[in-house]
């Protein structure tokens, strides 16, 4: 890699110079240092960059400046200081190379984005995301290429190649800002989802255009063949990644919920999927990483324990932080390309301005042309002009275009100008668009939380202050007797905070004309959250199978969307149409082909058990809402009529579920009684386990004794499971 080569040459020069001055007794040490080992400069350079990134994170967080954009400036500063400070001289030998981006940094960023993305929200917005990432990128490539060929000395082939590599967006700074401002979830998904997929389409388009330029033909047949190749590479990479991700999920069960082993497996999967698809199979490595990450994302909610999921997200969050830090620091260091020919700076700036105009024009075209067309589709959820404006201005460019640009052969026509244009465009989007996107969102009033969110925040603050006040009294009684004056002052501070929060909460609740609708919506959202929490608890305790839990989770998520749209009470949500069709199709197919096979009979029994579990889950989660309703209804500011409406709905739902359970019990008595027996046995064993765990926590029994009992109980719980739970 160029990164290693530059530092290795630098290290050897320094070592040889030092060895000439050393005594004979140190010659052996010098020879060892001249052997083919990792140069110390490589290690010190990496540590130095990480140190700079860490200090920069602290600084930019305090001054509220976009972190990733600030790192570009830090990278430029480090290069400039390299002429003045010898210790920083090594920084002038570090810059981005294709392999560093493609095979070290990019898999981390793609896999991290895939395992954290909201898969349901992505599926809901898949049409606009894929339209912008695939046809939109192709259109942007063509428009950018034509403008560049018109306004710069690049040939049409080189200009189209530049159009392909520069069309990939990298909205890391924008997404971080969205989180800070509390931007709408859908806007975040549209921007982040487009970036996730158009990295893949940009690489595929770049390779296709490169092949066409090498062949020297732009005929209709070549373009048609390229379009087919595009689909194969894109879909093939996704399939390869999904298979590797699923294999990891199957193998990971042998880890016994060991977070270190499971994190190691996830790292192998991220890089193995990318390298296998991109390097060995010539498919899309980005889509392979996306496919693997999406599969892990889907199954991690049911196959991994909450503790392991937390470790996994923390690890990949750190890995993403390091990768982004290195990318943007190296971007700043790599900007030295722009200073290679000082005599042509005015002419170069003119070409960069033309490139900026080209990418802005193409971005405006795909956003303001394609999105309004998508809004006209049947059952499409419109994307308003404010979201379109942010999507247009938030189309920043990052490291991938630079990696593709510097991967060009040294004798490629216009290579130097392509690299200079790429660096200029990336710098412009980061320093101009990245630093003004917050101003744009503020002017469009998109940084204000919704009324429901404001009420939820104030309600949470009031509850938190009440908890703090109660804890003061508990601590005083249990541990010490502080000075009464100090204690009274602290209590007064908490009471003042509670009074202030309650005043603001009441004003917020009572000010708008549609306040009843807001209170009603808040109440039903809270009820839906309690329902989902009950389902999670039932699954973690082994009372629900994985398929049943996913079905219940799907229903609560759909109901949440209906509540936000104002459909209260939410109507009955049928089964997940995709999963239901797959289940019905496979069962009916095996009933016809192999009616007496053991697997067919097992499948039939399993479907009946799922029906029983669904009815039981609806009843138990409904009862959980009824039990919690007196607690959260006053916090939501709900009137008695609103509370009664919610209570009646869940009472009716629980009653209907009970009747359905009884009907299924009469229809399938053997299955029902077996299921009921396992549930009762498991409930008793869970009570035993919790009791022993509590005794161990209170130091009432030795840890070794408690662990032995708990191990025996876990074995019995596995045998008594309705279905073997991945959490046990």
Closest among 589, 588, 526 to 560, alpha carbons compared: 526
Whether 523 has a pLDDT exceeding 80, the answer reads yes
- Per-residue pLDDT, 602: 62
- Per-residue pLDDT, 692: 82
- Per-residue pLDDT, 500: 85
Whether 23 has a pLDDT exceeding 60, the answer reads no
**Structure-model confidence comparison of residues 703 and 217, the more confident one:** 703
86-95, 192-201, 331-340: which has the minimum mean pLDDT? 331-340
What is the rounded average pLDDT of the residues 492-507? 81
Give the C-alpha separation, 56 to 52, whole Å: 6
What is the rounded average pLDDT of the residues 552-567? 82
- Per-residue pLDDT, 641: 86
- Per-residue pLDDT, 512: 56
Name the burial class of residue 605, with classes exposed (0-12), middle (13-18) and buried (19+) by CB atoms within 10 angstroms of its CB. middle
- Per-residue pLDDT, 6: 47
**Structure-model confidence comparison of residues 376 and 601, the more confident one:** 376
- Per-residue pLDDT, 335: 64
- Per-residue pLDDT, 191: 86
> How does pLDDT run across 654-703, given as a tens digit for each residue?
888 888 888 877 877 877 777 777 777 777 877 787 788 788 777 778 87
Whether 9 has a pLDDT exceeding 80, the answer reads no
Whether 139 has a pLDDT exceeding 80, the answer reads yes
CA distances 381 to 216, 521, 606, Å, are 43, 20, 37
- Per-residue pLDDT, 262: 84
Q: Where are the alpha helices (DSSP H) in 433-573?
A: 434-443, 451-478, 484-510, 515-540, 546-564
- Per-residue pLDDT, 426: 86
Contact 275, 106 (CB under 8 A): no
Extract the tokens encoding 601: 């009979």
Extract the tokens encoding 140: 């942007």
Average pLDDT across the chain, whole number: 78
> How does pLDDT run across 179-207, given as a tens digit for each residue?
766 677 788 888 888 888 888 888 888 88
Contact 148, 162 (CB under 8 A): yes
> ∠ CA(468), CA(472), CA(473), 5° rounding?
125
Extract the tokens encoding 373: 């067309």
> How does pLDDT run across 408-463, given as a tens digit for each residue?
888 888 888 888 888 888 888 888 888 888 888 888 877 666 666 677 777 778 88
Extract the tokens encoding 692: 């022993």
Considering the chain, what percentage of its residues have pLDDT values greater than 90?
A: 7
Whether 271 has a pLDDT exceeding 80, the answer reads yes
What is the rounded average pLDDT of the residues 200-219? 79
Extract the tokens encoding 495: 């009471």
- Per-residue pLDDT, 34: 44
What is the rounded average pLDDT of the residues 122-131? 86
What's the DSSP call for residue 382? -
> How does pLDDT run across 29-55, given as a tens digit for each residue?
444 444 456 677 777 778 888 888 888
- Per-residue pLDDT, 575: 63
Name the burial class of residue 376, with classes exposed (0-12), middle (13-18) and buried (19+) by CB atoms within 10 angstroms of its CB. exposed
Whether 68 has a pLDDT exceeding 70, the answer reads yes
Looking up tokens 């708008």 gives 512
> ∠ CA(219), CA(224), CA(229), 5° rounding?
125
Residue 340: in which H helix or E strand, if any?
A: none
What is the rounded average pLDDT of the residues 203-216? 81
The confidence band for 146, taking pLDDT boundaries of 50, 70 and 90, is: very high
The confidence band for 113, taking pLDDT boundaries of 50, 70 and 90, is: confident
Contacts of 264 (CB under 8 A, 6+ apart): none
Give the C-alpha separation, 267 to 104, whole Å: 11
Whether 4 has a pLDDT exceeding 80, the answer reads no
Q: What does pTM read for this prediction?
A: 0.76
**Structure-model confidence comparison of residues 71 and 677, the more confident one:** 71
Give the C-alpha separation, 531 to 528, whole Å: 5
CA dihedral of residues 195, 197, 199, 204 (deg, nearest 10): -150
Extract the tokens encoding 282: 């010539």
Whether 143 has a pLDDT exceeding 90, the answer reads yes
Contact 421, 351 (CB under 8 A): yes
Closest among 399, 335, 393 to 102, alpha carbons compared: 399
> How does pLDDT run across 584-594, given as a tens digit for each residue?
666 666 666 66
- Per-residue pLDDT, 180: 66
- Per-residue pLDDT, 364: 92
Whether 722 has a pLDDT exceeding 60, the answer reads no
> How does pLDDT run across 460-499, given as a tens digit for each residue?
788 888 888 787 776 666 655 555 666 777 778 888 888 8
φ, ψ for residue 176, nearest 5 deg: -60, -40
Considering the chain, what percentage of its residues have pLDDT values greater than 70?
A: 79
Whether 405 has a pLDDT exceeding 60, the answer reads yes
What is the rounded average pLDDT of the residues 523-544? 84
Give the C-alpha separation, 249 to 45, whole Å: 37
Whether 2 has a pLDDT exceeding 50, the answer reads no
Whether 726 has a pLDDT exceeding 60, the answer reads no
């Amino acid at each position: 890699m160029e990164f290693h080569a530059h530092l290795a040459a630098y290290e050897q020069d320094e070592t040889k110079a030092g060895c000439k001055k050393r005594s004979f007794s140190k010659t052996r040490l010098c020879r060892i240092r001249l052997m083919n080992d990792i140069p110390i400069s490589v290690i010190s350079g990496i540590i130095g960059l990480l140190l700079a990134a860490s200090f920069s994170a602290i600084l930019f967080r305090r001054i509220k400046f976009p972190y990733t954009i600030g790192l570009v400036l830090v990278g430029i500063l480090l290069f400039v200081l390299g002429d003045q400070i010898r210790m920083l001289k090594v920084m002038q030998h570090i810059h981005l190379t294709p392999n560093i981006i493609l095979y070290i940094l990019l898999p981390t960023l793609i896999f991290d984005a895939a395992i954290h993305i909201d898969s349901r929200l992505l599926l809901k917005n898949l049409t606009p995301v894929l339209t912008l990432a695939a046809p939109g990128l192709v259109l942007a490539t063509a428009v950018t290429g034509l403008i560049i060929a018109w306004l710069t000395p690049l040939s049409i082939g080189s200009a189209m190649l530049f159009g392909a590599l520069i069309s990939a967006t990298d909205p890391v700074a924008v997404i971080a800002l969205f989180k800070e401002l509390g931007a709408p979830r859908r806007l975040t998904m549209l921007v982040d989802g487009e970036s996730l997929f158009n990295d893949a389409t940009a690489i595929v388009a770049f390779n296709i255009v490169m092949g066409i330029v090498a062949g020297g033909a732009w005929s209709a047949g070549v373009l048609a063949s390229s379009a087919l190749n595009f689909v194969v590479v894109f879909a093939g990479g996704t399939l390869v990644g999904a298979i590797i991700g699923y294999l990891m999920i199957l193998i990971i069960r042998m880890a016994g919920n060991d977070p270190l082993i499971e994190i190691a497996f996830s790292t192998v999967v991220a890089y193995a999927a990318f390298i296998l698809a991109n390097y060995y199979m010539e498919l899309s490595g980005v889509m392979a990483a996306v496919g693997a990450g999406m599969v892990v994302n889907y199954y991690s909610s049911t196959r991994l324990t909450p503790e392991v999921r937390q470790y996994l997200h923390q690890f990949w969050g750190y890995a993403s932080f390091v990768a982004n830090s290195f990318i943007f620091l190296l971007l700043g260091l790599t900007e030295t390309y722009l200073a290679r020919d000082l005599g042509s700076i005015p002419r170069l700036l003119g070409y960069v301005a033309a490139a900026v105009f080209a990418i802005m024009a193409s971005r405006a075209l795909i956003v303001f042309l394609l999105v309004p067309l998508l809004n006209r589709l049947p059952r499409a959820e419109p994307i308003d002009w404010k979201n379109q404006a942010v999507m247009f201005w938030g189309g920043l460019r990052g490291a991938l275009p630079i990696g593709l640009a510097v991967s060009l052969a040294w004798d490629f026509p216009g290579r130097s100008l392509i690299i200079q244009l790429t660096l200029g465009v990336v710098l412009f989007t980061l320093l101009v668009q990245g630093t003004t996107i917050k101003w744009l969102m503020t002017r469009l009033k998109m940084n204000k939380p919704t009324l429901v969110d404001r009420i939820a925040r104030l309600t949470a603050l009031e509850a938190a202050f009440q908890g703090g006040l109660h804890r003061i009294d508990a601590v005083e009684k249990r541990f010490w007797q502080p000075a009464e004056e100090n204690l009274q002052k602290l209590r007064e501070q908490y009471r003042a905070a509670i009074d202030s929060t309650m005043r603001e909460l009441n004003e917020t609740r009572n000010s708008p004309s549609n306040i009843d609708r807001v209170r009603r919506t808040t109440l039903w959202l809270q009820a839906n959250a309690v329902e989902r929490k009950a389902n999670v608890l039932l699954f973690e305790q082994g009372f629900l199978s994985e398929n049943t839990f996913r079905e219940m989770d799907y229903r609560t998520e759909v109901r949440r969307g209906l509540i936000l749209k104002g459909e209260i009470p939410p109507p009955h949500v049928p089964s997940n149409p995709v999963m239901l069709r797959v289940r019905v199709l496979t069962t009916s197919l095996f009933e016809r082909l192999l009616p007496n096979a053991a697997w067919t009979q097992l499948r039939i029994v399993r479907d009946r058990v799922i029906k029983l579990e669904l009815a039981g889950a609806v009843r138990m989660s409904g009862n959980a809402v009824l039990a919690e309703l007196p607690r959260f209804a006053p916090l939501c500011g709900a009137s008695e009529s609103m509370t009664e409406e919610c209570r009646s709905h869940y009472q009716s739902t629980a009653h209907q579920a009970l009747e359905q359970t009884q009907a299924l019990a009469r229809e399938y008595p053997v299955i029902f009684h077996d299921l009921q027996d396992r549930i009762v046995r498991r409930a008793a064993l869970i009570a035993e386990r919790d009791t022993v765990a509590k005794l161990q926590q209170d130091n009432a029994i030795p840890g070794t004794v408690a662990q032995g009992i708990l191990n025996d109980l876990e074995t019995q719980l596995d045998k008594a499971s309705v279905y073997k739970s991945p959490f046990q």
